Structure 1
């Protein structure tokens, strides 16, 4: 379900990405086995208890590769939350398939929450889970069985196992976000017998669980990157119970890939950034109610064009004032400038080609976008 990523990442990873910054590793024994994880710690400028996001790797992959592939760390560094990348047994998560892992991964994630909470200042009301492929399947299992601790979940290219659906009785509305490409050949959008229900069935299940009225608002997002062979439709279910939103980013023409990843393996959409969109969704919720963003501003998308750029790029900001920063894939700032107007011109002609994050801090608000320098 993702077994092509490990080999290609080893071939493509630049040295700057291999040298992860502010990421710690840890392990503990659970159920008679040594379980390990990687943890991205927020900058020290963020005080108080912080949110925690689990980001789960795909089948055949691992925590290190998922950290590099999803590129969630820059979003976490900006918004001030922890990201934990656990390792599954035999590079897999137990989601109900007849193959892969048979480990008690729900119990492991619960124990991992306890372990991290004993060492770091983590807000128990703001713990979330997302994942790629097999990791997305696992996120849904956590929504079914651990939603007393997990506030919301997101899946990228994942689904639910047909035989497991009848076993999922969440007992409450659980906010869910699904990001999926219509041309995904590994976890097909139309589903696959015995392995995955269709995305239409998946959304219908969570609409029913969350008491949505069956209608959906559909909007087409701007095609800001004309070279990625895909577009994005945003589908939001309507009339859902309190705290039970069901969101879907349909990547039209997209493959089995994480939008916004700098590793364009197959059709990878660059109109949105999967990691930023996931946090934008998560930051709305707590286990017991809708979240107040007063002490943890959620990033919103920046308008960047042209994207890709060969030198200059225009940035449209929510307001004037503040600071703009351009950060490379290793988390190192390459441009800093004060914001005097809502329209800013960035000159990237002196920076190397590659993927960059553009962050704007304006008062208590944070805006973020990804820019490709060709």
Structure 2
């Protein structure tokens, strides 16, 4: 189905590490190291932060992990909500603040204007700048490891992860991406989902990408097509384009993950599974979870045979920027 060697320059692979294992790459602490938490924030708590970006009032939620220390650089995960959803709903969905899965990473939930994101047809808000402003704020207020900033999201939020990965600046600030049920819109018609040219200005050729998509997704179809007067590529075409950008070739390793689920992995010598797609043939437009969540309790949906969240955390644990632009 899915289906040249370059020197490693920007990504430090930590091998087969678990999410709880420290990266072997030396941390790059931010200016906020040594500062006390902002007023009203507590270890293990969630707070709302308001900033101004491009003259607009914007907000995001911040989860401070219970193990956070002002002198220890901490990994940050940006998690973007789906269309018509909110930052709080994404927090409740992705389980990244659950102590079962994460006690060490700071998680940030940006709020889109009109609950949407740049990259969706008709959206004109500069959410790339908003993300850059969030990162600047975080690095000034908290002890952040600037080499370990990650991004994930659902649906339109996952599509925005692709926008960030394809941005010449943000692709050098965010180490790795894990979009779920992504809406990867291309502003062109007529729509040829298997061959549509996907614009991308990524400034690295070693961007770790772990995507998830369901074969029964009735919102963002796995086989793509016209939607909102734009073109959705097939997910296989989209992931193959990422493999091509990173000089990984067309061949992939296919492995079982769980019932009805496989992972397609693209690698090159010295960098294993740099680009991967987890495909569940029966899952719909859901954040994959074996436990009930807001997605899989909808009519016609059900829990999946695997959890995306620990896979995402394990993936992020293996990657870190080694050079900062």
TM-score (norm 2): 0.75
**Distance in 2 between the 1:256 and 1:53 partners?**
22
2:257 corresponds in structure 1 to: 221
> Is 1:206 paired with 2:242?
yes
Q: CA deviation at 1:240?
A: 6.9
Q: CA deviation at 1:119?
A: 1.1
* Structure 1 counterpart SS, 2:98: helix
Q: Please tell me whether the aligned partners of residues 222 and 235 of structure 2 are also in contact (alpha carbons under 8 angstroms).
A: yes
How big is each residue's C-alpha offset from its partner over 1:244-272, in whole Å with a ceiling of 9 and x where there is no partner? 71111101111000011522234344322
Higher strand share: 1
1:239 corresponds in structure 2 to: 268
Between Structure 1 and Structure 2, whose CA radius of gyration is higher?
Answer: 1
* Structure 1 counterpart SS, 2:313: helix
Superposition CA RMSD, Å: 2.2
1:38 corresponds in structure 2 to: 61
**Runs of 4+ residues over 4 Å off in structure 1:** 240-244
Alignment of 1:1-374 (within 5 A): 22-44=45-67, 48-74=72-98, 78-95=102-119, 97-99=120-122, 101-145=123-167, 146-163=170-187, 166-172=198-204, 173-193=206-226, 194-223=230-259, 231-239=260-268, 242=271, 245-260=274-289, 262-263=292-293, 264=296, 265=298, 266-288=300-322
Q: Please tell me whether the aligned partners of residues 259 and 268 of structure 1 are also in contact (alpha carbons under 8 angstroms).
A: no
* Structure 1 counterpart SS, 2:322: coil
- The farther-off stretch of 277-286 and 46-55 is 46-55
How big is each residue's C-alpha offset from its partner over 1:320-372, in whole Å with a ceiling of 9 and x where there is no partner? xxxxxxxxxxxxxxxxxxxxxxxxxxxxxxxxxxxxxxxxxxxxxxxxxxxxx
**Distance in 2 between the 1:84 and 1:215 partners?**
35
- The farther-off stretch of 44-53 and 193-202 is 44-53
Q: 1:45 to 1:120 in 2, by over 3 A?
A: closer
**Distance in 1 between the 2:135 and 2:288 partners?**
27
Q: Please tell me whether the aligned partners of residues 125 and 287 of structure 1 are also in contact (alpha carbons under 8 angstroms).
A: yes
> Which gives a bigger RCO, structure 1 or 2 (Cα 8 Å, sep 6+)?
2
Unaligned segments of structure 1, at least 5 residues: 1-20, 224-230, 290-374
